[in-house]
Amino acid sequence: MSAKVYYSSMKCNMNQSPLNKIKKLINKCGVTDIYGKNDITAVKLHFGEYGNTAFLRPIYLRPILETLNRIGAKPFLTDTNTLYVGMRTNSVDHLHNANLNGFGYSTLQTPIIIADGLKGELYTPLDVPNGIIYKNAKIASAVASADKLFVINHFKGHEMTGFGGAVKNLAMGCASRAGKNEMHSSVRPVVDPELCTACGRCKMACDAGAITISKHASINDKCVGCAMCISACPEHAIGTDFNVACDTLQQKIVEYAAAVHNHFKEVIYVSVLTSIVPACDCHGGNDAPLVHDLGFMASTDPVAIDKASYDLVCKTAGKDVFQEAWPHLNPQDSFAHAKKIGFGNTEYELETVK
């Protein structure tokens, strides 16, 4: 069975706003049937790393937030803290970064909640339906406890998955620090002895008793992979060994995404196909786009909207620009695993909305 995906291009006359197209798309998805009065609604997005200029433009959120507010829902913008060290490693810096990138309350009149707590410590286990790798996923608590979820994606390339869209935003984007570590690494966090000052903050943050301090910190086999030591270290001496193979990473991401989608059952996904750069918005910079701006897509199926977006970009370019950018991986591994566990649809019916 195929899924419905709605598409609207960037083409507009001088009196037509592209923002109205987003409203039309989410109306096609049945926004008033899915979201209701007083529903506390997590609007999941990526605020973009400091220095990046390709990330989702805040103005594209306006038609979504206006619609949710008109319905009487209670939306909040949300993302989760990162494993890597940057402007999104903890909630204090993350909120500051969101404001610097234009997502402040004065612009969008919508609260921001970083979903996994001050240092990424808050998560709720959610069941993974038909999971092969996981039985449950460690999902940020503020996402898991929301009444409803709305996901808006910046569709672009990615150096470890080929592309990033709805499934990655749903999985890695909704995972706690422990969940991110679980997907990215098969080993415990690692300590750089050259940077470590043996201050002991990591040991105080470790509930598993897995850290000992001598000349520098050492992490032993008691480690449960929560990665709290990473955010606790003031010298950035502890990090994740991003050692999981790209195909395995994609499979893990699909299963995490399935857990979140299954938890909410009905979710609207909007993908913005502008500034389609080769790599993730987590970088503090960005390359030129792979193709010109293509427009917007919406669906209630995260796999279908990713497949439709992927196909449109490649059709427009006349080649697989994601495979060309990242020849060490197969960008379509995620679709194969989604089909294997019965998550979403890779077959879709694309309807153009003017």
- Name the residue among 270, 310, 272 with its Cα closest to residue 54: 272
On whether the CB atoms of residues 162 and 329 are closer than 8 A, the answer is yes
DSSP helix/strand/coil, 350: strand
333-341 vs 246-264: helix crossing angle, rounded to 10: 50
pLDDT at position 40 over 90: yes
Cα 165 to chain centroid, rounded: 8
pLDDT digits (tens, 9 = 90+) for 271-296: 999 999 999 999 999 999 999 999 99
pLDDT digits (tens, 9 = 90+) for 290-327: 999 999 999 999 999 999 999 999 999 999 999 999 99
Tokens of 137: 């996923």
34-38 long-range CB contacts below 8 Å, 24 or more apart? Answer: 34/148, 34/266, 34/267, 34/268, 34/300, 35/68, 35/71, 35/73, 35/148, 35/150, 35/268, 36/71, 36/72, 36/73, 37/71, 37/72, 37/73, 38/72, 38/73, 38/74, 38/147
pLDDT at position 95 over 80: yes
Tokens of 142: 């503020």
- Banded model confidence at residue 234, pLDDT cuts 50, 70, 90: very high
pLDDT digits (tens, 9 = 90+) for 153-194: 999 999 999 999 999 999 999 999 999 999 998 878 899 999
